[in-house]
Amino acid sequence: MLGHFTIIPFIAPYMQLNIGFSDHEVAYIYLVGGLLTVFLLPFFGRLADRVGNPKVFTGASALALFSILAITNLGPVSIVIALCVTSSYFVVSSGRSVPATTMVTSVVDPEHRVGFMSVRSSVNQLGLGLASLISGSIVIEQNGALANYHYAGYFAIFMSILAIYLAWQLKLNRSEGEWVPSRHTADKRN
């Protein structure tokens, strides 16, 4: 959340102020990106079931790195190229949330999962607010355009790499088919 929401609030303004798109063209970005996400999210779920959550999360996160870099450094382009760049970001960033949610919720015993999900939701909301605060302090308006958006992108890339690292700190308990903390994490609890 912290990485994603450093760039998400500025996608529409960046497309309008820096690329020169109209409100109507920006609406197409969200329409196409949203539709592709709706249709492709089940693919990520099936793929995660087939090859494993960490691999799908890592693959989608790696693809998101390129999408983040492209969006935050995009110059004047046609609407078709902008649709490809933004849609790829919407799809892979949403796609990585499928295995991420499975991994995070599976480390908690079923009897504690409801309380954990409440805390997780609160932490997500805190991350959204913090990300907006961070990006709001990075991205500035300068001469009728947004400046420093690429720095917000670099922060989002760093957070995505950190998320990949943290995802691999969990490991699968193959006998029960659930995610458990890695041996290193489990040793700290004992």
Query: Which CATH number covers residue 26?
Result: 1.20.1250.20
Domain carrying residue 87: 4-189
The predicted pLDDT at position 108 comes to: 79
Residues 6+ apart with CB under 8 A from 150: 72, 73
The predicted pLDDT at position 171 comes to: 57
Over its length of 190 residues, how does the chain's per-residue pLDDT go in tens digits?
A: 788 889 999 999 999 999 999 999 999 999 999 999 999 999 999 999 999 888 999 999 999 999 999 999 999 999 999 999 999 999 999 999 889 888 888 777 888 888 888 888 898 899 889 998 999 999 999 999 999 999 999 999 999 999 899 888 875 444 344 444 444 444 444 4
Q: What's the sign of the alpha-carbon dihedral 149, 150, 151, 157?
A: positive
Residues 30 and 152 sit within 8 Å (Cβ to Cβ): no
143 secondary structure, DSSP code? T
Q: What's the sign of the alpha-carbon dihedral 6, 7, 9, 10?
A: positive
Coil/strand/helix, residue 180? strand
Question: How many domains, the chain?
Answer: 1
